[in-house]
Structure 1
Amino acid sequence: MAVFSYAANGADDTTDRRIPVTVLTGFLGAGKTTLLNAALSEISAGKVAVIMNEFGEAGLDHDLIESVEDEIVLMQSGCLCCSIRGDLSGTIASLVERRDDGSLRFERIIIETTGLANPSPILQTLLVDPELARTTRMDGLITVVDAANGPATLDAQFEAVSQVAMADLILLSKTDLVTPTAADAFENRLSGLNPTAQIERPIDGRFKLEKLWGRSGLRKNIEPKDVIAWTTPDSPPELAPLNNLSSISKPKLSPLVMSPHDVRISSASIVLDAPLKDVAFDLWLDTLIALRGPDILRVKGIVFLEGVETPFVFHGVQHIFDPPVSMKNWNGGDHRSRIVVIARDLNRPELQRSLDMLRAHQPEIATKEEVFPNHD
């Protein structure tokens, strides 16, 4: 059974009216609250609804608070906050209902997780709940990592490693508290865990908050170069031939920063020049998910199928997948599929055999692949 279906011709609706949802995660003390307070006082995102587990943990800047009513904290900026009372689905549904009836105003939602949270259930909730799938869309997963305490945290807590491996954007905080050499080494370690995530160092006001938004590649009318960047390490800015992935296959890390937790994360990328048969792609994806679904942190990519002029962008967490998005604005002669798998406890030979299923359907000269684990 295929994980999802495709449509060569569909309604050309280029307007996505669903509410964008950003998940903000990171371990305790990494700086999520500082980032959240900044986001609530900044205008690039419009009015924001923030969902968190407890107000007490959030440490919201009380100078920004205007009033409190019915478990809703209204900010002077017009943004609002609420805590999860029961399940996440019910909390979001309640906010959306009040937005629709005009009692609340907001343009996007930020979900701040607790420090120990695995973000997978949140991403899956947005997809498996029919009402949320209709009214919201995932806009990006942002992970804040502390440069001073982060290495020890990754060594001690596998949840922190998962937060890094699943991120669309990694914010490396507190780099002013460590030497440039240590910051660079830690950033290299983060790149080894998640080669396709953009890493920023938001210190001294040099980070533009608008970079927080639009991190997912599953957006209607997204530019082709942005989708390529979402799926390709060191992606070039234009639709030029891809950089050789072997240059980042093994980050140059000191043995002092390696951890057994890092070794559990593997990533693999494959580039296919010729369009795939839809049955071949579905068989590969079904087999991968059936055998190791719980260990798949993320799988994403751009895929060209035989008989379909434009590519599809797809994304999944474990066995749950977003509906694929047809890139109707794709142009030019680039018809290469690009697929990235980030997995836990999935050893190199298993990833290799999985990718061989796809390679078997391609001319030998048309395939380039690279497994880039963070260990030998």
Structure 2
Amino acid sequence: MQVEEMQEPDIPVTILTGFLGAGKTTLLNRILTEDHKHRIAIIENEFGPENIDNELIVQSDKEQIVSMNNGCVCCTIRGDLSRVLTDLRHKRDRGEIAFDYVVIETTGVANPGPVAQTFFMDDAVAPYFRLDGVVTVVDAKHGSATLDAEAPARDQVGFADRILLSKCDLVTEEEASALEARLRQMNARAPIRRVDMGKCPVEEVLDISGFNMNDVLDVDPTFFNEGHHHHHDDDIHSFVFDTDRAFDPMKLERYFMSLTSVYGEDLLRYKGVLNLQGSPNRVVVQGVHMLAVSDVLGPWGDRKPTSRLVFIGRNLPEEAIRRGLQTCLV
């Protein structure tokens, strides 16, 4: 697989998502009022000509609130987000505003995928802004019913680098545990935290390094223990491919091109550490939909060369993908 050297952008960005009523605004107020070292620029998106949530957000001298009312973030925001981020950066360069972090709060019915892709595909954004992670808020009280009924809510879970479970005080321990088990089957990568949105530590949201190109695959160990016994017929699920055999680089690259061309829209997130034939180094690859990036890590050293790939997607043909990956092994 081809590997490109990338200059590290200097402005980290968190995408904050979650279905309507999950507690994003409460969490955002927490971030804006807590005494932390960040100067945060907030970018919001909501439906309609008037931004109702803007009145709920605490105004602070340290933060710049940028409201966008252009409709659903997943279908119309691409150009506007690029423009707003570029405008913020230019104002910062001119000394008109000061910020060192950006939080994008998406509308409650948004799929965060296109927003995430902006930080890889947009030439006006990618060199300056670094996507730190996608944080998804799930309501413990209504979360299971929402996941049953709303496809965007399932997408939000699939894209998450971290899941924050809110309103746990309104449910029993058994109900909360059952929801956690369901979320783990949908997304094995994302750690789950039970939090009170009004008291959530900022470090649970910012600087989580969810999109870092490193070899840490945050697969919940209980994912393997629970197996694949689904209590719900979710279209979003995750699976892990492990092998001690090396991949043929050319075969794997051709397979990934084919895989993303056919299933790209349904491949929400995927990440892996690869053992490539002929290479003494670990290679990490991760992608969002049809866009994948890769980088070379250090040598294997004393570690046994192995490969692990995690896929999270919508109605993916797991066994067919496993067979396809098998054909790429040496």
**Bucket of the pairwise TM-score, normalised by the shorter protein:** 0.7 to 0.9
Task: Verify the 8 A CA contact 2:133 2:211 in the aligned structure 1.
Answer: no
Distance in 2 of aligned mates of 1:265 and 1:353: 16
- Identical-pair percentage: 36
Structure 1 residue 153: Cα displacement: 1.1
**Aligned equivalent of 2:192:** 199
Residues 1:84 and 2:54 aligned together: no
Query: Which blocks of at least 5 consecutive residues in structure 2 are unaligned?
Result: 71-79
> Which residue of the other structure, out of 232, 237, 253, is the alignment partner of 1:266?
237
Task: Verify the 8 A CA contact 2:184 2:220 in the aligned structure 1.
Answer: no
Task: Verify the 8 A CA contact 1:45 1:107 in the aligned structure 2.
Answer: no
Distance in 2 of aligned mates of 1:217 and 1:182: 27
Q: Which amino acid aligns with 1:353?
A: A
Residues 1:282 and 2:253 aligned together: yes
Q: Which amino acid aligns with 2:225?
A: S
> Which residue of the other structure, out of 107, 110, 125, is the alignment partner of 2:100?
107
Task: Verify the 8 A CA contact 1:45 1:210 in the aligned structure 2.
Answer: no
| Superposition map of 1:324-363 within 5 A | 324-328=294-298, 332-346=302-316, 350-362=317-329
Structure 1 residue 276: Cα displacement: 1.9
**Aligned equivalent of 2:123:** 130
1:93–1:31 CA distance, 2 compared to 1 (3 A): same
**Secondary structure in structure 2 of the residue aligned to 1:286:** helix
Structure 1 residue 307: Cα displacement: 3.0
Task: Verify the 8 A CA contact 2:157 2:187 in the aligned structure 1.
Answer: yes
1:304–1:43 CA distance, 2 compared to 1 (3 A): farther
Residues 1:21 and 2:19 aligned together: no
Q: Which amino acid aligns with 1:317?
A: V
Distance in 1 of aligned mates of 2:151 and 2:175: 21
1:84-129 CA distance string (max 9 Å, x none): 2661111111111111222111111110001101111111122221
When normalised by structure 1's length, the TM-score is 0.77
Structure 1 residue 45: Cα displacement: 5.5
1:111–1:182 CA distance, 2 compared to 1 (3 A): same
**Secondary structure in structure 2 of the residue aligned to 1:104:** coil
Residues 1:228 and 2:212 aligned together: no
Task: Verify the 8 A CA contact 2:188 2:239 in the aligned structure 1.
Answer: no
Distance in 1 of aligned mates of 2:211 and 2:106: 22
Structure 1 residue 57: Cα displacement: 2.2
Q: Which amino acid aligns with 1:280?
A: K
1:251-304 CA distance string (max 9 Å, x none): 574xxxx3x4x1x22322111223322112202211211221111111111223
RMSD: 2.5
| Superposition map of 1:147-166 within 5 A | 147-166=140-159
**Aligned equivalent of 2:206:** 213
| Superposition map of 1:171-182 within 5 A | 171-182=164-175
